[in-house]
Chain A
Amino acid sequence: MTLKLGVPSKGRLMEKTFEWFAQHGITLSRNGSEREYAGSVEGIDGMSLVLLSAGEIPRELAAGRIHLGVTGTDLVQEKLPLWEQQVCPMEELAFGHADLILAVPRAWVDVDTLDDLDAVAAAFRARHGFRLRIATKYHRLVREYLRQGGVADYALVDSQGATEGTVANETAEAIADITSSGETLRANHLKVLSDGPILRSQATLWRSRVAELEDADRATLATFTARLG
């Protein structure tokens, strides 16, 4: 057996992860062509690389099919209930920064806080006959946040992409999404509520609490942990 490390299979997140491991003397690389999802590890014995979609890494860690994995805090907290019991953060990697935020049209000059949103939701429902719709793909995180904030009379509508466009398209009145710079929000005439983000996320190296370790894997993990300093 080897210690299995799950890494996002494409894009900037993969490149940045490879760079971060290289800084710790571990060379990760993708085999053969751009299209092949197999990889290799050099610089440490007993570790193997599994290339996966970033969104699947939380589930694989929780299932114990990989021992280590790199993915965002947002995805771990959205996809894994009681995540602390299933995975443990080993290291924040200082890239892939993104905040999960709530945004409303900039033209809503009367709305600045969650408290405003709640009042507007009550009035909106009375006027339009349905709940104020918030488009998101982060259902659990957003619902929990709004429950704790005491917001009522809203409904979440699923949006797996181009979420910022849903308000102009009149399929939602507000959105909750990940943003890194806010440019997309501005381009779509949206503004962020001032209460602060629902969650601050960054790429993080996680260890599965449930994956089985053989003695050799334990030794590899110890070597690796020591390498991180």
Chain B
Amino acid sequence: MPNRSQTLARAGALRAMFEAQGAVPVEPPILQPAGALLDLYGEDIRARAYVTSDALRGEQMLRPDFTVPVVQMHMSHGAEPARYTYAGEVFRRQEHDPDRPNEYVQVGYEVFDRADPAGADAEVFALIGDALAHLDLRAATGDIGVLMAAVAGLRTTDARRAALMRHIWRPRRFRALLDRYAGRTRMPGARRNLLAGDPPKSPAPMIGLRRQDEIDARIAALREDASAAPLGAHEVELIEALLAVRETMPFALQQLRDLAVDLPAIAEAVDRIARRADAMAARGVDVGALPFETSYGRTSMEYYDGFVFGFHSVTRPDLPAIASGGRYDALTRRLGDGGEIPAVGGVMRPGLMLDLEGVA
């Protein structure tokens, strides 16, 4: 195990490398207001982050990542385009796995640039890849944007598209919704009874904030959904085929292009992947051997909405990703107070790198 000063020294060297690329070093505070993080991730973040509080400032979190504070900072007073780098501890509760550290050092690089998203994706991936080149790592890449484009293009109701979109990052729920909309699962008895005849009125009094008109609106929405035509079997098969794409980049692109013939909604997203692959090749990435997986990154924290990547140890599959990142355009919109800018970034874990290098 490397000691703390070795890890910090490596973190400093990696940050200096990003500074040499023109990145501005930033140091967000360790204590972050909990509101923005809770709003973004929901209750799940409490299982992953340490929450503390005081009577004056309310709930605070020990920063579980740097991306959110860096985006907040950029959206409030950043110049464009911008490149940032940082190095420091993040804090994660590890209640399911006592072997994983709950405090570790991350070094990151974030690019806010409208001009050339494919180039920015390739830049982040290649810089991180180069810094890890001496280690025996397996790269993984994906693109959440393809699945989002496919959902947006489904021939079904707005409500169904919105529900699927909301659960893009929860594969099991997504699957269950898809099956239901395709008419593959039977409607539960209670739902059938609810929709048969007039809406039942409960003899119980109305209590709580949710009012009768909200209940009526939901029943109306359920009726509308029940009368909507099921998703076509062919369309569902195409989505399943899309989710199953797992190949080296050239073959994956070929499969995606074939699928785009029947799913024209994904054509633009597939073009983006192709442009990114070209930009990566121009930076010396061996794109011919680079894996691509449509489902990669779907279970991580839900802010990546385009390119996603990770580097994993071949010899130590028990370790978490040595580096990971992705594109998060929608996050800048949500934290941007009306503004937005395409953004991509990645983080590395110098402690794990030293582990793999065998530093005692």
Interface residues of B, Cβ cutoff 8 Å to A = 38, 42-44, 46-47, 95-96, 98, 163, 166-167, 170, 172-173, 176, 188, 190-191, 194, 199-202, 204-210, 212, 214-215, 217-219, 221-222
A71 to B205, CA, bound (A): 37
Is A112's beta carbon under 8 Å from chain B?
yes
Q: Which of A112-149 touch B at CB < 8 Å?
A: 112-113, 115, 118-120, 122-124, 127-128, 131, 139-140, 143-144, 146-147, 149
Cβ–Cβ < 8 Å partners of B218 in chain A: 110, 119-120, 123
Within 8 Å by CB of A107, from B95, B166, B207, lies: B207
Within 8 Å by CB of B194, from A109, A140, A152, A172, lies: A109
Q: Is the CB of A143 within 8 A of B43?
A: yes
Question: Which of chain A's residues has its CB closest to B98's CB?
Answer: A82
A120 to B222, CA, bound (A): 11
Question: Which of chain B's residues has its CB closest to A165's CB?
Answer: B207
Question: Which of chain A's residues has its CB closest to B222's CB?
Answer: A110
Question: Which of chain B's residues has its CB closest to A85's CB?
Answer: B98
Q: Is the CB of B202 within 8 A of A106?
A: yes
Asked, given contacts A106-B202, A112-B188, whether A150 binds B96 with beta carbons under 8 Å apart, the answer is: no
Interface residues of A, Cβ cutoff 8 Å to B = 81-82, 105-110, 112-113, 115, 118-120, 122-124, 127-128, 131, 139-140, 143-144, 146-147, 149-150, 152-156, 167-168, 170, 172-173, 188-189, 191, 194
9 A–B contacts from the bound complex (CB under 8 Å) = A82-B95, A107-B205, A107-B212, A109-B215, A120-B218, A122-B163, A122-B166, A140-B47, A173-B210
Cβ–Cβ < 8 Å partners of A106 in chain B: 202, 204
Cβ–Cβ < 8 Å partners of B166 in chain A: 122, 152
A66: shortest Cβ distance to chain B, in Å?
22
A192: shortest Cβ distance to chain B, in Å?
13
A115 to B175, CA, bound (A): 13
Question: What are the 5 A-B residue pairs with the smallest beta carbon separation, nearest first?
Answer: A150-B173, A106-B204, A81-B95, A112-B190, A150-B170
Cβ–Cβ < 8 Å partners of B212 in chain A: 107
Q: Is the CB of A170 within 8 A of B202?
A: no
Cβ–Cβ < 8 Å partners of B210 in chain A: 105, 108, 120, 124, 173
A154 to B212, CA, bound (A): 20
A112: shortest Cβ distance to chain B, in Å?
4
Q: Is the CB of B43 within 8 A of A167?
A: no
Q: Is the CB of B222 within 8 A of A105?
A: no
Asked, given contacts A108-B215, A150-B172, whether A113 binds B207 with beta carbons under 8 Å apart, the answer is: no
A68 to B210, CA, bound (A): 46
